[in-house]
Structure 1
Amino acid sequence: MKKIALAVMAAVMMSATVPALAAEMTKEEKDQCLLASKNCATEVDSIQKKIKKLNAEIKKGKKVYSADEIKKLQQKLDEANKMLDDLLKAGGS
């Protein structure tokens, strides 16, 4: 378990050093990236930054997203929070 957590942490740290491409994402690409982790090549975020973005999108509510999309965003948020908790537990052991 520790080895997996360390490998994930190393991958996250390495991905943060990769320069993002200069191209801007369209609204559709951004939505797909947030909802389904698709077309995220130009977005390299830390887990904490991803959590912050997901919270901001969820707060927009039904004015911007359907109930199904909000549910998907919440699932992504739960996954990111669990990953962060697992990394923090592994780092403290």
Structure 2
Amino acid sequence: MKKTALAFAAILSLTSALPAFADMTNNQKDECLLASMNCPEAVMDIQTQINRLTAEVKKGGRVYTPEEVAILENKLEQAKAMLTTLEDE
């Protein structure tokens, strides 16, 4: 009986820790910028987007895979090009 109760308590404690690990990953990666997911504010001005992308690119391999960093860098270059185009008009 004690073994069953101990096993149940261990399982319960592990399942309650899982959401914390998921939140940590979501807080480290900006899924809105990376994959257009979890975007509470869908509309961002270009300068804000550039600032956020720059900050995420600086995180680099500590948080993102090399492919994700390449995606962020590409989006950053596109945003900078769009800003330049708008400033020239």
TM-score, length of structure 2 as denominator length: 0.62
Q: Output one character per residue of 1:12-37: Cα deviation in whole Å (capped at 9) or x when no partner.
A: xxxxxxxxxxxxxx727x63311123
Identity %: 45
Counterpart in the other structure of 2:75: 76
Q: Output one character per residue of 1:21-66: Cα deviation in whole Å (capped at 9) or x when no partner.
A: xxxxx727x6331112344342432100110000000101101000
CA distance in 1, matches of 2:63, 2:38: 20
Structure 1 stretches (4+) deviating beyond 4 angstroms? Answer: none
Is the Cα–Cα contact under 8 Å of residues 49 and 79 in structure 2 kept in the other structure? Answer: yes
CA distance in 2, matches of 1:69, 1:56: 14
Unpaired stretches in structure 2, ≥5 consecutive residues: 1-22
Counterpart in the other structure of 1:15: none
Unpaired stretches in structure 1, ≥5 consecutive residues: 1-25
Number of residue pairs the alignment of both structures matches = 64
Counterpart in the other structure of 2:49: 50
Larger relative helix fraction: 2
TM-score, length of structure 1 as denominator length: 0.59
